[in-house]
Structure 1
Amino acid sequence: MGYRANEHPRIGWIGTGRMGFQLASRLLDAGHDVAVYNRTRAKAEPLSARGATVVDTPAELAARDVVFIMVSASADLTAVTVGENGLLTREVAPGLIIDSSTVSVAASASAREAATGRGTDFLAAPVSGNPKVVKSGKLTLAASGQREAFDAARPLLDLLGRGVTYVGEDDVARLVKIAHNVLLGVMTQSLAEVTVLAEKGGVSRAAFLEFINNSVMGSVFSRYKTPALVNLDFTPTFTMPLLRKDFDLGLAAARELEVPMPVASATAQLVAEAIGAGSRENDFAELILEQARRSGIELRPEGVSVDDGLGG
C-alpha cells in the first residue's frame, strides 16, 4: 500500500483558508483533479469555478491518491483524520497524506500513527509564506517522513512554490517550522525596535527600512514587511494569537530538549502583551505599534509607495 509516483494522481485538499485556498488553486491551475473540503463550505465553493469538486466531509476524500491537509490547530488535525466522518474512517484510505498544518510534534506523530495503521504514507510538510507569497510562487516547504514517499510526492510539492527541503524522518519538519516561526516573531520584534529607535531619532521609517533592505541585513522577509511597517497597513497575513501559539510550541520544545531561548522567551512576553492590548485580528507586524507606545511616540502612516519585493 502507500503512494507511488503517478503522473495524474487524484488529489484531495482539506482546509481552504487563506493559504489552503491559494495552494489548492496552484494544483488546479496545473491541471490536476482536485476535490476539496472545508469546515465552512462557502470558503471552498469558489474553487469549483476553477474545476474543483467540493465535498461535505473529509471522509469523501478517502479514495483519493493524495490528500493535503492544512488546518490551524492540533485538534483540527485530529478531527479531520480520525474524528466523525474523518479521512481515515472509511474502508478505503488515501495512498498518501501530506499535512501542512502547523501543529505540535506530538499531534503530528499521532496523525502519522493513525495513517500508518491504514497503510497510508504520511509526510509532514509545513510551509513558509503567506497568500501573497504563494501567488508569487515563492513559497517554501520543509518535509519529513519516509524518503520514498517524499520522492514520489516531490512533483506535487514542487508545484506549490519555489523550494521544498527534505529535513529527515518522522515529524522533524514540525520542529523546523516551529523554529522558523519563532524566528519570524523575534525578527519582527527586532525590526520594530530598531525602526522605532531610528524614527524617534528623526529618520523616516521608509528611509531607514530602505537602507536596511539594501544592506547585508536585508531579506525577503524584511522587504515584504516594509509596506506594513511604513504605512501601518496591518491587513492580516498571520495574526498575533497564531504567533503566540507557535511561541508556546517552540518554548515547550526548548524545555523538552533543554535548549535555553532567552531572546525568544522575552519576545513571547511582548507578543502576549500586544494581544492583551487588543491585537488579535490584525497582522503581527502590529508589534511596531506596541514598541512605539512603550517608547512614548505615536506612529502615523507615511503614505509612501513601497515595493514589497514580491511583485504583482
Structure 2
Amino acid sequence: MAERLARAGVDLTVWNRTRAKAEPLREQGAAVADTIAGLRDHDVVFTMLSTSEDLDHVLAELLGDSGEDRGPGVVVDCSTISPEASAAARRRCAERGTEFLAAPVSGNPKVVRAGGLSVVCSGPRETYDRVSGLLAHLGRSATYAGEGETARLVKIAHNLMLGVVTQTLAEVTVLAEKGGVPRHAFLSFLNDSVVGSPFTRYKSPAFVHLDYTPRFTPPLLRKDFDLGLAAARALDVPMPVTALTAQLVQASVGTGRVTEDFAILLDLQAAAAGLKLEPEAVPVDDGLSA
C-alpha cells in the first residue's frame, strides 16, 4: 500500500516496528522515520496493525502524552479491530486535535500489487473527502459506509464470509476428489461457473499445490470470528453457519499450524474424510497475474 502511494508521487515517510520491512521503500522515494513520533507533524498518517493493543501502542507514541502535543492532521487506520476499540482510538485522536478515519481493507499483498485492494471507510464525511485522493491510489475502490465505526462491522462481516467460503470450498473440493475428480479440474470448473468468484480463483493455487505460504493465518481469522460472533450477540443476530465455522477455525489453530495460511482448512477437511492429499503439478491461474 505504501509502495502504491510512493509510486503515485505522494510525499511519503514510513515507519515499521521491523525497520528492515520499511527500508525497501527508499527505492520508491520514501523516507524512513526512526521513530513513530517522527510522523507526528504529517498531514495524514496511515496505520495498519494486527490487534487493537498494537494500535493503542502506536497511537500513544504518535500522538504524544502531553496536552501540548498535537497529532497529525488525520489518522487513517486500516486495521481490523472491534468497533469499541476503534471508538476508543477515535477519542484518543480527538484529544490531540487529530481527525480519525476507520478504513479497513480487503486484499493481501498480491491483491494490492495487482491493483485489487478495496477499502471501506467510516467517520466524518469531510474527513473521508479530505483523504479520498490518497485512498484512490491504493487500489480498486474506496466505499464510504457512514459515521462512527460502521466500517469495522463491514470488515468483520467480510472476514466471516472469507472463512465460511473457504471452509465450504474445502468441503466440496474434498468431496469431489474422494469421488475421483482431480482438484485442479474441479476448481477450474467451479471458478468458471456462476458460483465461482475472484476469491475462489485466487485461493485455487493453494488448494491445488498445497502451498500454504501465509497470507492470512488461522489465529488472525479466529480473532475476526470472535469479533463477528460478539457483534452478532450484541445485535441479536443468529449466525449458525458462522458459529460452526468458528469451531473449525479453532480446530485449525489447535493443530499448531499457526504460521501457515488458513487454507490449511483443506487439510483438516481431507483428514476428517480419510483422504490423503498430494500436490498436483498443474499450472493454476489465480486471476491476479495480469
For 1:47, the equivalent position in structure 2 comes to: 25
For 1:140, the equivalent position in structure 2 comes to: 118
**Structure 1 residues 235-279: Cα deviation after superposition (integer angstroms, max 9, x where no partner):** 111011110110011111111111111111111111111111122
Q: 1:226 corresponds to which letter in structure 2?
A: S
Select 1:102's aligned residue among 59, 71, 80.
Answer: 80
The alpha-carbon deviation at position 216 of structure 1 amounts to 0.6
Decide whether the 8 Å contact of 1:292 with 1:298 is kept in 2. Answer: yes
Q: Counterparts of 2:70 and 2:95 in 1: how far apart (Å)?
A: 12
For 2:210, the equivalent position in structure 1 comes to: 232
TM-score norm. by structure 2 comes to 0.97
Q: Counterparts of 1:237 and 1:264 in 2: how far apart (Å)?
A: 21
The alpha-carbon deviation at position 88 of structure 1 amounts to 4.3
The alpha-carbon deviation at position 41 of structure 1 amounts to 1.4
Select 1:293's aligned residue among 271, 274, 278.
Answer: 271
For 1:152, the equivalent position in structure 2 comes to: 130
Q: Which shows bigger deviation, 175-184 or 85-94?
A: 85-94
Gap regions ≥5 residues in structure 2: none
For 2:158, the equivalent position in structure 1 comes to: 180
Q: Counterparts of 1:140 and 1:89 in 2: how far apart (Å)?
A: 34
Q: Counterparts of 2:147 and 2:65 in 1: how far apart (Å)?
A: 26
Q: Counterparts of 2:249 and 2:283 in 1: how far apart (Å)?
A: 28
**Structure 1 residues 175-230: Cα deviation after superposition (integer angstroms, max 9, x where no partner):** 10011001100000000000000000111111111111111101000000011111
Q: 2:145 corresponds to which letter in structure 1?
A: V
For 2:252, the equivalent position in structure 1 comes to: 274
The alpha-carbon deviation at position 50 of structure 1 amounts to 1.9
TM-score norm. by structure 1 comes to 0.90
The alpha-carbon deviation at position 49 of structure 1 amounts to 2.4
| 1:163 correspondence with 2:162 | no
1:282 alignment partner, SS class: coil
1:292 alignment partner, SS class: helix
**Aligned-pair Cα RMSD in Å:** 1.1
Q: Counterparts of 1:305 and 1:88 in 2: how far apart (Å)?
A: 51
2:145 alignment partner, SS class: strand
Which runs of structure 2 are paired with 1:4-23 in the superposition (5 Å)?
Answer: 23=1
The alpha-carbon deviation at position 87 of structure 1 amounts to 3.2
For 1:75, the equivalent position in structure 2 comes to: 53
For 1:263, the equivalent position in structure 2 comes to: 241
Q: Counterparts of 2:31 and 2:84 in 1: how far apart (Å)?
A: 32
For 1:24, the equivalent position in structure 2 comes to: 2
Q: Percent sequence identity over matched residues? A: 60
The alpha-carbon deviation at position 56 of structure 1 amounts to 2.3
Gap regions ≥5 residues in structure 1: 1-22
The alpha-carbon deviation at position 40 of structure 1 amounts to 1.6
1:28 alignment partner, SS class: helix
Q: Structure 1 runs of 4+ off > 4 angstroms?
A: none
Decide whether the 8 Å contact of 1:81 with 1:89 is kept in 2. Answer: no
Which runs of structure 2 are paired with 1:86-97 in the superposition (5 Å)?
Answer: 86-89=62-65, 91-97=69-75
The alpha-carbon deviation at position 122 of structure 1 amounts to 0.7
Select 1:123's aligned residue among 101, 117, 134.
Answer: 101
Decide whether the 8 Å contact of 2:101 with 2:122 is kept in 1. Answer: yes
Q: 2:267 corresponds to which letter in structure 1?
A: L
**Structure 1 residues 87-142: Cα deviation after superposition (integer angstroms, max 9, x where no partner):** 34462321111000111111110010111122211100000010000000011010
For 2:219, the equivalent position in structure 1 comes to: 241
| 1:200 correspondence with 2:178 | yes
**Structure 1 residues 149-174: Cα deviation after superposition (integer angstroms, max 9, x where no partner):** 11121110010000011011011100
| 1:112 correspondence with 2:104 | no
Q: Counterparts of 1:246 and 1:206 in 2: how far apart (Å)?
A: 30
Decide whether the 8 Å contact of 1:58 with 1:87 is kept in 2. Answer: no
